[in-house]
Chains A and B, each alone.
Chain A
Amino acid sequence: MSVDGDPRPAGAIERCDVAVVGGGPAGLSAALHLARLGAYVILLDEAEELGGQYFKRRQGSVLAKHGDFRPEGTSLISAVRASGVRCWTECSVWGVGEDERTLLVAGPEDEPRSVSARAVLVATGGYERSIPFSGWQLPGVVTPGYALHLATCDRIPVGQRAVVAGTGPFLLPVSCALLDVGVEVAAVVEVNRPYRPSLRVAAALAHPARLAEFASYRAVLARRKVPLLQGWQVVEANGSGALERVRIESVGGREAGREYDVDALAVAYGFRPATELVRLLGARCEVRQGDLFPRTDGRGRTTAEGVYVAGESAGIAGVHVARLRGEVTAASIAADLGLPGAAEPARATLRRLRRGEAFSAVTADLYPVPDSLISGLCDGTVICRCEGVTAGQIRAADAVGWNDRNSVKGATRAGMGPCQGRECAPAVAALCGASGSTEPFPARMPIKPVPIRVAMGESAEEVS
């Protein structure tokens, strides 16, 4: 037996000008611009409907009863569908071919597909920056994003009584959305102190529209008498089989800890870019504060030829910037592919992008993640929730003196579960005393678990 008896390739290869991976604000905006310039675009998304996280749609009877949610998302999606972009929903990109350009895809019926594009735009968004703490794996502990989607898209309260915690401006709209579906929000627990006068806050004054938005959320919280605690952190979630109690402590321990009897805790410390695909495509990233950011030219070009990145996967900056990045990156792609009608982005667009990115930099400064969140964890805390690996096990593997981060992974299995380290890799790296200058874990295929029948290139009917 030799490899010459090689099986057929994974499904028929679809060819297009641009493959856009991720149907959120950035991917939609880029796909629309490219299609209008005459490019043949395939837009792939894992979900059943386009929109990504921000423009997630209400559907079916929820839509009929409560009306549309974020209608600008609906119009953007309609425009994309009308523009001739081929939309492949329920399609998960799990790998990249040897040419570093062909995307390997699991289709809606678990059928193998592949897409070969002249340019690949990665708009895979970001995901919430979860920091482990004691009990974070209990049912009832969720990310704020999940609590928000339950409230807004499904109109379902995440619990009867909740604590919303972590850091970031996002905690405020999430808290308001929970109140809106009848959740009693016991407290909003912000680890930083962003809502007090300071020079950093003053920098945000240059962005009055965004400040007004935050002021309105704070007004709702004040009216509903929801305490907004600053300089406090969640240290423990407790309960038998599900969340019953949350313990918070003040940063630095100046005040006595407090406990809340709740059945829901929504907690995260901002977002991190999803860079697995862009790394697999050969683009270089840099590490900042334990998270990876693709290196770009500021207009979506990565270090790998033909590979582009837009939206949150290029750096966390919110929906406005994501759409602008989509537009600007589409212009870069159009120029590089020599599409007729390719043009420089409008100067106003570039100006708005620069302002938006500046605001996000200010925001990032206001909501840092204190190192003590991880270094202060007790040994019994589960770090890798998939494999049930504790901080103590990771520290012990690190302490033998001969392991690096990847061998700590091998020694403990931390990061080896189905989430493939997305939830724990930065925490594992931090516990290993990593300098923060190298990748937490390398990106590998499959990017997400994929049915074996898809990986081997067969549809369900073909395997008896």
Chain B
Amino acid sequence: MSGERDDTAVCVDGVEVPAAVGQSLAGALHDAGIRVLRRNLVTDEPRAPFCGMGVCFECEVSVDGRLRRACQLHVRPGMVVSTGREHDDER
């Protein structure tokens, strides 16, 4: 949607996704069409960022190996993000 200002890329679940430095990570993922960031561990429903201010934990993803809330971070070049949006066969 705002592709004209994308100036970097983050790696999301192994795929390079264009993003703009300084965007919130939650926003950048949203803009790249990645709305669902995790599945609820109880209901297995897809979940996406909700509160945008660090309260609801619905946007929690792994960033460079650490669990972080995507709404609290800004895009940096080379970020490696892993979401929990896919079904997990182990369950």
Q: Mark B1-40, 1 if CB is under 8 A from A, else 0.
A: 1100101000000000000111110011011000110001
Residues of B within 8 A of A60 (CB): 20-23, 74-75
- Beta-carbon contact of B56 and A419 below 8 Å: yes
Q: Least Cβ distance of B71 to chain A in Å? A: 7
For B54, the chain A residues whose CB sits under 8 A away are: 46-47, 448
Q: Is A358 an interface residue (CB 8 A)?
A: no
Known A137-B45, A139-B36; contact A59-B22, beta-carbon cutoff 8 A: yes
> How far is it, in angstroms, between the C-alpha of A295 and the C-alpha of B49 when the chains are bound?
33
* Chain A residues with a Cβ closer than 8 Å to the other chain, count: 48
On whether the beta carbons of A388 and B36 are closer than 8 Å, the reply is no
Given known A-B contacts A46-B54, A127-B53, A139-B36, A61 and B22 have beta carbons under 8 A apart: yes
B27 touches A241 (CB 8 A): no
Give Cα A155 to B31, complex, Å.
Answer: 10
- Is B46 close to A, CB under 8 A? yes
Instruction: Check B55–A156 contact: CB distance below 8 A.
Output: no
A61 and B48 in contact, given A150-B27, A419-B56 (Cβ under 8 angstroms) = no
B65 CB, min distance to chain A CBs, angstroms: 10
Q: Which residue of B lies closest to A127 (CB)?
A: B55
Shortest Cβ distance from A417 into chain B, in angstroms? 7
B interface size (C-beta, 8 A): 40
A110 to B56, CA, bound (A): 20
Nearest residue in A to B30 (C-beta to C-beta)?
A156
Question: A149 — nearest CB in chain B belongs to which residue?
Answer: B52
CB-CB contacts of A145-187 with B at 8 A, as 1s and 0s? 1110110011111100000000000000000000000000000
A154-B31, A388-B43 as given contacts; A140 in contact with B48, CB under 8 Å: yes
Q: Which residues of A contact B91 (CB under 8 A)?
A: none
The SS class assigned to the A binding surface is loop
List of A residues within 8 angstroms of B43 by Cβ: 382, 388
Complex Cα distance A143/B56, Å? 11
**Chain B: CB-nearest residue to A125:** B53
B45-74: contact bitstring with A at CB < 8 Å (1 yes, 0 no)? 111111111111110100000110001111
Q: Are B53 and A61 in contact (CB under 8 A)?
A: no
User: Which residues in B have their C-beta under 8 angstroms from that of A423?
Assistant: 51, 55-56
Report A-chain residues with C-beta under 8 Å of the C-beta of B31.
154, 156
Give bound CA distance, A293 to B47, whole Å: 31
Given A139-B48, A146-B50, A242-B48, the answer on whether A154 and B23 have CB atoms closer than 8 Å is: yes
B61 to chain A, nearest CB (A): 13
Give the Cβ gap from A183 to chain B, nearest Cβ, in Å.
11
B85 CB, nearest partner CB in chain A, Å: 10
Smallest Cβ-Cβ distance to A46: which chain B residue: B54
A241 x B53 contact (CB < 8 A): no
Determine the distance from Cα of A364 to Cα of B49 in the docked complex, in whole angstroms.
28
**In the bound complex, how far is the Cα of B89 from the Cα of A6, in angstroms?**
42
Contacts of A386 in B (CB 8 A): 40, 42, 57
A61 B27 Cβ-Cβ under 8 A: no
Q: Could you tell me the distance in whole angstroms from the C-beta of B35 to the nearest C-beta in chain A?
A: 5
Assuming the A-B contacts A62-B22, A137-B47, A142-B52, are A110 and B58 also in contact, with contact meaning beta carbons closer than 8 angstroms in the complex? Answer: no
Within 8 A of B (CB), among A100-141: 110, 127-128, 130, 137, 139-141
Q: Which residues from chain A contact B48 at a C-beta distance below 8 Å?
A: 139-140, 142, 242
A-B contact pairs, 6 of them (CB 8 A): A48-B72, A48-B74, A130-B50, A139-B47, A156-B1, A448-B54
Apart from the given pairs A47-B54, A142-B51, A146-B71, 5 other A-B contacts in the complex at a CB distance below 8 Å: A59-B23, A63-B22, A242-B36, A385-B40, A448-B54
Interface residues of B (CB under 8 A from A): 1-2, 5, 7, 20-24, 27-28, 30-31, 35-36, 40, 42-43, 45-58, 60, 66-67, 71-75
